[in-house]
Amino acid sequence: MKVPFLELRAGYEVLKPEIDAAVARAMASGWYIGGPEVEGFERAFADYCSAAHCVGVANGLDALHLGLRAMDVGPGDEVIVASNSYIATLLAVSMVGATPVLVEADPATHNLDPSKVEAAITPRTRVILPTHLYGQPADLDPLLEIARRRGLRLLEDGAQGHGGRYRGQRVGGHGDLVAWSFYPSKNLGALGDAGAITTNDPVLADRVRTLGNYGSHQRYVNEVRGVNSRLDPLQAAVLSVKLAYLDAWNSRRKAIAERYLEAFADLPGITLPAVPDWADPAWHLFVIRATDRDGLQQRLADQGIQTLIHYPIPPHRQQAYADLGLPAGSFPIAEQLANEVLSLPIGPQMRDEEVEAVIAAVRAAAA
Ligand SMILES: *Cc1c(COP(=O)(O)O)cnc(C)c1O
Residue 198 near residue 253, CB atoms below 8 Å: no
Q: DSSP secondary structure string, 319-338? A: GGGGGG---TTSSHHHHHHH
The angle subtended at Cα 35 by Cα 33 and Cα 37, nearest 5°, is: 100
CA atoms within 13 A of residue 71's CA, in its CB half-sphere: 32
Which overall architecture, per CATH, does domain 8-243 show?
3-Layer(aba) Sandwich (3.40)
Strand order across the beta sheet in which 169-170 lies: 169-170, 165-166, 279-280
- Residue intervals of the chain classified under CATH 3.90.1150.10 are 246-366
Q: Is the CB of 60 under 6 A from ligand 1?
A: yes
* pLDDT tens-digit series, residues 301-312: 999 999 999 999
* pLDDT tens-digit series, residues 174-210: 999 999 999 999 999 999 999 999 999 999 999 999 9
Residue 269 near residue 46, CB atoms below 8 Å: no
Alpha carbon distance 33, 231 (integer Å): 8
Read off the pLDDT of each residue in 341-360 and give the average, rounded to a whole number.
98
* pLDDT tens-digit series, residues 114-155: 999 999 999 999 999 999 999 999 999 999 999 999 999 999
Question: What's the pLDDT at 99?
Answer: 98
* pLDDT tens-digit series, residues 90-108: 999 999 999 999 999 999 9
Q: Is the CB of 187 under 6 A from ligand 1?
A: no
Q: Is the CB of 88 under 6 A from ligand 1?
A: yes
Q: Is the CB of 166 under 6 A from ligand 1?
A: no
What is the distance in A from the centroid of ligand 1 to the CA of 229?
Answer: 15
Question: What's the pLDDT at 284?
Answer: 98
User: Does position 34 have pLDDT exceeding 90, yes or no?
Assistant: yes
- Residue intervals of the chain classified under CATH 3.40.640.10 are 8-243
Read off the pLDDT of each residue in 6-17 and give the average, rounded to a whole number.
96
What is the distance in A from the centroid of ligand 1 to the CA of 315?
Answer: 14
Q: Is the CB of 86 under 6 A from ligand 1?
A: yes
Q: Of all atoms in ligand 1, which is nearest to the CA of residue 195?
A: 7
Question: What's the pLDDT at 282?
Answer: 98
Confidence of residue 24 (pLDDT cuts 50, 70, 90): very high
Confidence of residue 367 (pLDDT cuts 50, 70, 90): confident
Alpha carbon distance 40, 136 (integer Å): 28
* pLDDT tens-digit series, residues 288-302: 999 999 999 999 999
Q: Of all atoms in ligand 1, which is nearest to the CA of residue 284?
A: 15
Buried b (16+ CB within 10 A) or exposed e, 168-191: eebbbbbbbbbbbbbbbebbbbbb
SS3 assignment, position 33: coil
Residue nearest to atom 4 of ligand 1 (CA): 60
Read off the pLDDT of each residue in 76-85 and give the average, rounded to a whole number.
98
Residue 143 near residue 117, CB atoms below 8 Å: yes
246-366, which class in CATH?
alpha beta
Choose among 180, 339, 324: nearest CA to 271.
Answer: 339
Percentage of the residues of the chain whose pLDDT score is greater than 90: 98
